[in-house]
Amino acid sequence: MIQIVDLHKTFGDNKVLTGINLTIPEGSTCVILGGSGSGKTVLMKHMIGLLKPDQGRVIVDGQDIVPLGDAVMEQVRRKFGMVFQAAALFDSMNVYQNVAFPLHEHTKLPEEKIHEIVRSKLDIMGLPPSVESKFPADLSGGMRKRVGLARAVVMEPKIVLYDEPTTGLDPITTDYVDEMILAAQEKLKVTSVVISHDIASAFNVADFIAFLSKGLIIEFGPPEQLRASTNPVVQKFLQTWFEKN
């Protein structure tokens, strides 16, 4: 579904990506794992076309998006749904209005059909009809994440991107979010890409883990392969995390 080929990106004197090669199979969940400043967010921005590389290709669903102009890129972006770190819901809108927002912006569907689609996505997230009239301030952290995911998938994207979905959450809510990511993949058959530095969450949800360090993928494979890695950078990252937890 996504293929990154020899991707390079430099900001001034800072070489952030220095030759990324990555293939994410359709229908899988791939966690891009790495420490702060390793280039995870910059890589995600290339996947969705918000940044252009200095060199390399970004192939989404068979199409190289690097040379595309804004108009065509806008159509490609409809293949993506985005779940932001803090859900990024509109505070002045209730749950229904938040989830319906992309449909109101990008379609001419009648309100009855929009409500049917919104309800179906909230159902998938395990949220009852009573939640539709609530505002983000009335929701728990886990519920806000679920509403954010419902909004991300309301346009039926092929790919869902998660930006640090468990950062700052307590262990119970983190488990709740992990379950949400797994349920979305199973029920919606999407390809999921999760940017994270949370090892426990990565091992819970990933089919594949890409370990990013100093602008390169230095380990790629299923979670068991990461656990058994002999790469000293990966070993130190895992050891440091387990010592803290």
Tens digit of pLDDT for each residue in 108-145? 999 999 999 999 999 988 899 999 999 999 998 888 88
Number of independent structural domains in the chain = 2
Residue 34 is part of a domain; what is its CATH number? Answer: 3.40.50.300
Looking at the structure, do residues 150 and 135 belong to the same domain, yes or no?
Answer: yes
pLDDT band (50, 70, 90) for residue 242? low
pLDDT confidence of residue 85: 74
Residue 16 covered by a domain: no
174 and 240 within one domain: yes
Do 244 and 174 share a structural domain?
yes
At residue 164 the predicted structure's pLDDT band, cuts being 50, 70 and 90, is confident
- Decide if 44 is inside a domain: yes
User: How far apart are alpha carbons 174 and 93 in whole angstroms?
Assistant: 25
Tokens of residue 166, six digits: 């468990």
Domain span holding position 147: 89-156
Phi-psi label, residue 235: left if phi above 0, alpha if psi -120 to 50, beta otherwise: alpha
The pLDDT tens digits for 25-46 are 999 999 999 888 889 999 999 9
Distance CA 56, CA 178 (A): 32
Q: Tell me how far apart the alpha carbons of residues 191 and 60 are, in angstroms, rounded to a whole number.
A: 11
